[in-house]
Chains A and B, each alone.
Chain A
Amino acid sequence: MPTSTSVESTTSPPRRAGDQLFKGLATGAGVLIVVALAGVAIFLTYEGVPAFTAAKSEIPGGNGVVAYIWPLVFGTLLGAVIALLIATPLSIGVALFISHYAPRRLAGPLGYLIDLLAAVPSVVYGLWGIYFLAPRMVPLFEWLEKHLGFLPFFAGPTSVTGRTMLSVGVVLAVMILPISTALNREVFLQTPRLHEEAALALGATRWEMVRMTVFPHARSGMVSAAMLGLGRALGETMAVAMILSVSDVVTFNVISNTNPSTIAANIALKFPEATGVEVNVLVASGLALFLITFAVNFVGRAVVGRRKEFSAAN
């Protein structure tokens, strides 16, 4: 018996004041983030509720808060999906080039350049979009309308300024490219060397090797890269507010000058002159964005979690 007590006393770690303090600080930081998030959710709900209880005629547009927010939700999702459709294949391609194809001399600087895109403020992307990109997109839009005009997306009439949902999608794609690329690159690089060499030894070409070893290993990482990008595209404000020509509509037509606004851009545009219940409506739309972002992250994590379990590479 005396031996066991002496063992216990030696295994329990010595308590130090610094250790305790650091633990407290770390726990405090962790709790703080949860409290902040809860605070935001409570604020949005509390300030948003009057928009739902107010008379329909008091809501801008006169058709109630749901009719006001729905086009915004639609626009937010449409812009983000276009961005994702463009950015996902591009970021996988760029990441693959950096991790598996480029000579090492080139790979480092190229990765650095892509990361640099993330450091550009979004107003700068807005300026670039409005003065450079949008006018140069017009010929493409005209081509799309002429040849693919039977699709609802390209029904036209083409905007003469190019300030359309498709232009916004392109700008958002450029904005989410760095984060998606960085994440994809990291997971591609983590492919076990032995798997790759085994594939090559069996006579696989480099592309076959990538398909057989890198992609299966990185699948969950690629999903989370896309989800992180989507999160940024959903919440992007200034670039959208500056570039997009908005109306209160729901349309899949992405090349005309009548586009649905996005939630974040609409708040930025309307808040400075909003009074009374209009402010509540804007906050309610913010709550909708909060819930959408939450759902996207939730789905993303669920996908990643599910993949992990049966990923052959692990």
Chain B
Amino acid sequence: MKSNPLPHALKLGAAALTVALALAACSASNESGTGSGGGSGGSSLTGDLNGAGSSAQEAAMTAWKAGFQSAHPDVTVNYDAVGSSGGREQFIAGGILFAGSDSYLSDDELTSATDTCGGPAIEIPVYVSPIAIIYNLPGVDNLQLSPETIAQIFAGKITTWDDPAIAADNPDASLPSTDITAVHRSDGSGTTANFTDYLDQVDSTDWTYGAIDEWPIQGGEGAEGTSGVVAAVTSGEGTIGYADESQAGDLGQAAIKVGSEYVTASTEAASKILDESTPVQGRDATTDLALTVNRTSTTSGVYPIILISYQITCSTYDSQDKVDLVKAFESYVVSADGQNTAAQQAGSAPITSALTTKAQTAIDTIAVK
């Protein structure tokens, strides 16, 4: 007897349908709310803590997740590194419990966030990282640059390495006449925002574009992401770029003129400038720790080109579970333990102990609605 081919096709169809249904069921079960039960404090915490935002914080967040979850095994921390503005948007929409962001909330965003939270948002600087000026110029090992020179290089006003302005910063070096290729980020990024903020603060006559997270000028070399910038600087001769210091690898790093001395990027020098920073005007200084970095500081030993990334939470949540989760997690992140873990894993600069104290005070104000 020859079997009819039709039933076979039917079986296939049925199998495909079953698979599709199973997949649908799976994706539905991914969405689970915060667990119930949750007593107060200690390892009795349970549930999901969902956050999203800055990709700069991702490496540190991996360390924090591991550290926090080993102390609280029943908690799952989810962090989606969608980008800072994506994180702020989701936070304002009420989709996540906290956001990671390379810039603090704008006044408009703060108003919307206050509406969502039913109280002011809390902004805590948790991740500080030096941005190194990396370069690739064979024969020149200890490049020194003054702020004005950096601004002119990245604005395209200085185009060769033997320019008198660079020579004045480096009296002992023999500079080649190679063309300068200034490498910038081609994607929108908090690194660019902080770097252009530096250029804007130190030399707004040469850098006229303000602080902006997308590179504002035509020309120069664009590269995707920190790794893209590092790759471009590595592969071309006469290149210079800016990248997270922990990602700079073996590339040469320029020393930046601060006051009368030249300082290279380091986590210590990056932490130091936090003391020079002032709270943003017009905000409640106890809960909103948004900082204006004084990048024109002339204090000895500070490194002014840093990225500050914040975690943003509500001051009130609708359940005690959420309050406990957020408080416990943020307290861990700003603690010496959390900051040191991030420093080891992600190469960030630990925040100062004075800032930790302030942050803890702000975290303690989080309460149930």
Contact = CB atoms under 8 A, between A and B. Distances in A.
A270 B187 contact: yes
Given A130-B235, A273-B85, A273-B214, 5 more contacts: A161-B221, A161-B239, A163-B223, A258-B219, A270-B188
Interface of A: 16, 18-19, 21-22, 25, 60, 130-131, 134-135, 138, 157, 159-163, 241-242, 244-249, 257-258, 261, 269-270, 272-275
Q: Which 10 A-B residue pairings sit nearest by Cβ, starting from the closest?
A: A273-B188, A272-B83, A160-B236, A161-B236, A269-B187, A257-B221, A135-B235, A245-B221, A247-B218, A246-B222
Contacts of B189: 273
A163 B187 contact: no
Interface of B is mostly: mixed
B113 to A, nearest CB: 14
Interface of B: 6-7, 9-10, 13, 55, 82-86, 89, 179, 181, 183, 186-189, 213-214, 218-224, 228, 231-232, 235-239
A134 B224 CA distance: 15
Which residue among A25, A161, A248 has the maximum number of chain B CB atoms within 10 Å of its CB? A161
Contacts of B10: 18, 21-22
Given A272-B86, A273-B214, A274-B85, A161 B181 contact: yes
B239 A246 contact: no
Given A22-B13, A25-B13, A273-B213, A257 B181 contact: yes
B218 A258 contact: yes
Given A160-B237, A160-B238, A274 B188 contact: yes
Nearest to B9: A22
A261 B7 CA distance: 52
Which residue among B82, B214, B238 has the maximum number of chain A CB atoms within 10 Å of its CB? B214
Contacts of B9: 18, 22
A196 to B, nearest CB: 37
Given A160-B179, A160-B236, A272 B6 contact: no
B221 A270 contact: no
Nearest to A247: B218
A25 B10 CA distance: 10
B85 A157 contact: no
Given A22-B10, A60-B214, A274-B85, A269 B224 contact: yes
B219 A247 contact: yes
A242 B235 contact: no
Contacts of B84: 273
Nearest to B223: A245
B111 to A, nearest CB: 15
